[in-house]
Structure 1
Amino acid sequence: MRDPEPTSGLQKILTSYGRRFGCDRVLFFEEKRDDIRLAYRWESPDILPLAADFAPVPRREVAHFYERFAHKNTFVVRNFHEYWRKHPQDAPHIPNLQSAILSRVNLDGQAYGLLEAVNPPAEQMDDAAQVLATLSRFVAILIRNRDVMRRLDRAGKVDQMTGIYNRRGLLESVEHLIPDVSYAIVFLDVNGLKHTNDTLGHKAGDKLIRGTASILRSVPSAATFRMGGDEFLLLKRIESEDEVPALLEKLRQRFRDADISTALGATVVRAPIDDIDAALAEADAQMYEDKKKHYESRHERE
């Protein structure tokens, strides 16, 4: 419980419990809308582990478990062969499942999932059930703390006005790019935002910013970031540099259709990116040249 990383603390609980009571597995299934999904596990080194992509289990296939949870938060199934004869609608999903202890994980009216201790020794079943019932509350606290930390982390990486990632989100995203794959970095600046704020008010300026983010977000298979103020960045995987001119032209057309004036610049990088600031500077320089052309053209028209 004192572990600074909730998921690490949860994993320690599963490991300690599984070893203490000699289980084959100790599993935590997280509840979603219509299914339960294996989120954390401990498995004895003496058994074949479950597949890494263990499929979500539809709740209708374990409906009888939830009927029992309505009356008791923790219960024991001592013989699954007998259980399935009585409840054939509850399909088995775990191999060599002979017995189990199941405990609902909830806290303050919020259900988080269920713990399942698989094949504990028969002579320890009662003691193991009592301990699992107690641990379910601690697991609920850890899952709640994990969710709070995730929300705080996401809030720190997301621009509140537009809902897209900010510069911090970009720096984290760059760390997870696929090695030896090329990416286009498109730097974008909204022309005339200050003029819009001064003449039409900040609500109009905010609408312009959100409209820009919406158009960028609509680009398929791309990640979008607000770098601050009127500057945005789009990161898109490409096969060849030849794709970049078409990408820029498509963006320009979308902004023209939306009556939003922008300046665009782009560069191509290959992951991993050793110096993201240098790549951003190059894209920014290209964008500045595009902005200079925009204002020169407008001056000539005037």
Structure 2
Amino acid sequence: MLFQEASINDAVRLGMYETDPVHGIRQMMARIGRQLEADRIVLAEEQGDFLHLTYRWNAEGILPLGDDFQPVPRSDMRPVFARFAKESSFSIPDMDIYWQENPDVSPHIPGMKRLDRLSKSDQLTGLLNRRGFKESLASLPAGRCIAFIFGDLNGLKETNDTLGHEAGDQLICSAAEVFRHVGHEGSIFRMGGDEFLMMQEIKREEDAAHLLERLQAHFEAAKISIALGCTTAATPINNIDDVLKHADALMYRQKLEQHRQRQDF
């Protein structure tokens, strides 16, 4: 928390140093959003008896809010202001429950449920994104063995640089289709630009190796170069970061081996 507070203060100073105040605010929001790994950052301004969402930032792959938000009457925000009167920041673990308890605070926007669903999806591939992964992970029942396969495309930057970003996007979408062919819809995630994650329940730990081999064979058949790393964990998973770090380390080991093979060739 101390690190985040110092980082946010630095971001505020960054914004204040800009000669163009609007550009400074947008710079500040972008830095805060990246530091907090947020989906969105929204700044509201009071204008008379209403709050207007004047500035908005969203992470890559997150659906922008657009201009559908209506001004919110200040009186509707009493529960929020009451919390801020007691503490400088607070967290809402479950927005659905919070909205039920404070119906006046629920967003003044049409199709909010659809927006929430889209915010969990990657716009390019239609796969779930990091937020979708976190929610899927939380919904896993206890006592199950789960295989995690982390994949990192080879050559995406070179494709973008030599053939253009449309070709790079097509490579990403083709990789997503291979994952879909082997895995189950709703258990495959685009974690970043060229990073994918597949999460699948298995009966025995040794089944993970067969799953990895099958996935690798389909990528070779599609002539898509990708490095893959696989690990397993039993639910409930107390530290998913450790699990993903292990899969990432195995993936990186294969990527180095693929690089050596290309050099030898």
Match of 1:235 in 2: 199
Q: Which residue of 2 aligns with 1:57?
A: none
**Residue 254 of structure 2 is aligned to residue 298 of structure 1:** no
Residue 205 in structure 1 maps to residue 174 in structure 2: no
Identify unmatched segments of 5+ residues in structure 2: 1-75, 80-94, 101-105
> What displacement does 1:178 show?
1.4
Q: Structure 2 CA distance, aligned partners of 1:196 and 1:290?
A: 21
Per the alignment, in what secondary structure is the counterpart of residue 158 of structure 1? coil
In structure 1, what is the Cα distance between the partners aligned to 2:127 and 2:148? Answer: 16
| Equivalent residues in 2 for 1:111-150, closer than 5 Å | 148-150=111-113
| Contact in 1 for aligned 2:182/2:214 (Cα 8 Å) | no
Aligned position for 1:253: 217
Q: What is the alpha-carbon distance in structure 2 between the residues aligned to residue 279 and residue 261 of structure 1?
A: 24
Displacement of 1:218: 1.9
1:285 aligns with 2:258: no
- CA displacement, residues 224-262 of structure 1 (integer Å, 9 cap, x when unaligned): 000001000000000111111111111111111111000
**How much has 1:149 moved relative to structure 2?**
2.3
Distance 2:210 2:231 in 1: 13
Who is 2:117 aligned against?
A: 154
* 201 and 171 in structure 1: CA distance in 2 versus 1, 3 angstrom threshold: same
Identify the residue that residue 157 of structure 2 maps to in structure 1: 194
Q: Within 5 A, what are the aligned runs for 1:37-48?
A: none
Residues 160, 168 of structure 2: 8 Å contact kept: yes
Which structure has greater helix proportion? 2
Tell me if the contact between 2:188 and 2:196 (Cα under 8 Å) persists in the aligned partners.
yes
Change (3 A) 1:182 1:296: same
Scaled by the length of structure 1, the TM-score of the pair is 0.52
TM-score, length-scaled by structure 2 = 0.59
Q: Which residue of 2 aligns with 1:178?
A: 141
Structure 2 counterpart of 1:153, which letter? D
Gaps of 5+ in 1: 10-141
CA distance in 1, matches of 2:97, 2:245: 38
The Cα RMSD (Å) is 2.7
Distance 1:171 1:196, change over 3 A: same
Paired residues, what number?
170
For 1:296, give the aligned amino acid.
R
CA contact (8 A) 2:208 2:230 kept: yes
Conservation of the 8 A alpha-carbon contact between 2:153 and 2:194 = yes
**How far has the Cα of 1:154 moved from its partner?**
1.2
* Equivalent residue, structure 1, for 2:226: 262
**1:240 alignment partner, SS class:** coil
CA distance in 2, matches of 1:147, 1:219: 37
Distance in 2 separating the partners of 1:275 and 1:264: 21
How far does residue 219 in structure 1 lie from its aligned partner after superposition?
2.1
1:181 positional shift: 0.3
Contact 1:221–1:237 (CA under 8 A) maintained in structure 2: no
Structure number with higher strand proportion: 1
Distance in 2 (CA, whole Å) between partners of 1:272 and 1:283 is 18
Q: Which residue of 2 aligns with 1:215?
A: 178
Structure 2 distance, partners of 1:146, 1:249, is 46
- Specify the SS of the correspondent of 2:123: coil
Q: CA deviation at 1:147?
A: 8.0
Offset of residue 220 of structure 1: 4.3
Give, in whole Å, the separation in 1 of the partners of 2:262 and 2:183. 32
